[in-house]
Amino acid sequence: MSGGGVNLKRLFLSRQIYEDCPSMEMTLPTHVIANYVLLDHCRGPSRMRVLGNGSHGNVMQLEYEGGHRIALKNQQATPHALTSLRVAAALKSARVVKFRPLVFRDRLLTFMSVVQGDLETQRKEAGVSKWRKKHADTFIRFLEELLACLGARGAYYPDMKLANVAYCNDSGNVSFSVIDVDSFNGHIATFPLREEWTIYHYASAAEGLIQTKYACAVTALLYHRPNDWPGFAYGKRYRSTEANVDVLRQFCTTKAIAGSATAKFILGIADEVTSAINAV
């Protein structure tokens, strides 16, 4: 089991960490989690699978014979990634997946609570449209609560998208959480409000937050119509900001969405984005 040139099992054997870890709770000390996750008393995980592929590292799910599971992201320990994790930890939000980071040399290992998968991957599954319709209001509450938390903390998450949102169904109790925890206060946006904001250092937290809101509105649309957004800021597919906002408004007039919590959420952000555009 290796990643980025680091043999993870050898890494923790060399540190001689042998404390027992009876559960996968993220409240445990990081070295205790690391011991169980990467060694399981020198046996290692019985099964591994990729939960998601990111530009900065893959998220793996590790499964053990005792039934425990946990997610692990292995990536380069860049200054930005470390700063983003500090921002995520300071939020203390239930809308962010529970995680514990560990830095070893030039690697950043982020242990996370297990989720079922991300919403981008989920869209390929059978019956997903019916499931999403049933839990649409829950998804909007997740976005609203996340934005409120970010605004209160002076933070932002410009690269909101389906791939960065995890879902979990615990005995019928569905929840959503941000899984890409090293993107807080970032500079990359898959759905930029302005073309130049694709890779951008925001002048203020307020500027970063308006981009976050816009990306959340696009993500709310894609939750229902995952193939219905050509508004990327590159190549011939790019549309103007005003045109993209019009698409958001038009979506809210469709029979299935009009009057719903999703429509109210998107229209509120569309109004705010329009005010921000006019203020420039």
When pLDDT is averaged across residues 15-33 and rounded to a whole number, the result is 44
Please report the pLDDT score of residue 53 as a whole number: 67
Residues 6+ apart with CB under 8 A from 64: 36, 40, 45, 46
Residue 242 CA: distances (Å) to CA of 53, 197, 230, 245, 272: 32, 15, 14, 5, 12
**Is 185 in contact with 91 (CB distance < 8 Å)?**
no
- DSSP character for 230? -
Residues 6+ apart with CB under 8 A from 89: none
pLDDT digits (tens, 9 = 90+) for 61-118: 877 776 777 888 888 999 999 999 999 999 988 899 988 888 878 888 888 887 888 8
Which tokens sit at 225? 């119509």
Which tokens sit at 115? 């989720």
| pLDDT above 90 for 232 | no
pLDDT digits (tens, 9 = 90+) for 56-65: 777 888 777 7
Q: What confidence tier does 233 reach under pLDDT thresholds 50, 70, 90?
A: very low
Closest to 42 (Cα-Cα) out of 16, 60, 71: 16
Report the helix count and the strand count for the chain, using DSSP H and E. Answer: 9, 10
Q: What percent of the chain has pLDDT over 70?
A: 78
**Residue located via tokens 């420039």:** 280
**Is 203 in contact with 177 (CB distance < 8 Å)?**
no
Instruction: Quote the strand ranges of the chain, DSSP E.
Output: 2-3, 6-7, 47-53, 58-63, 69-76, 99-104, 107-112, 117-118, 165-170, 173-178
**Lowest-confidence region among 36-40, 48-52, 105-109, 182-186:** 36-40
**Lowest-confidence region among 133-142, 156-165, 239-248, 259-268:** 239-248
Which tokens sit at 1? 């089991």
Please report the pLDDT score of residue 272 as a whole number: 95
Please report the pLDDT score of residue 157 as a whole number: 97
Please report the pLDDT score of residue 160 as a whole number: 95
**Is 258 in contact with 252 (CB distance < 8 Å)?**
yes
When pLDDT is averaged across residues 108-136 and rounded to a whole number, the result is 87
Amino acid identity of residue 92, one-letter, is: K
| pLDDT above 90 for 147 | yes
| pLDDT above 90 for 130 | yes
Higher pLDDT, 251 or 195: 251
Which tokens sit at 56? 């900065």
Q: What confidence tier does 254 reach under pLDDT thresholds 50, 70, 90?
A: very high
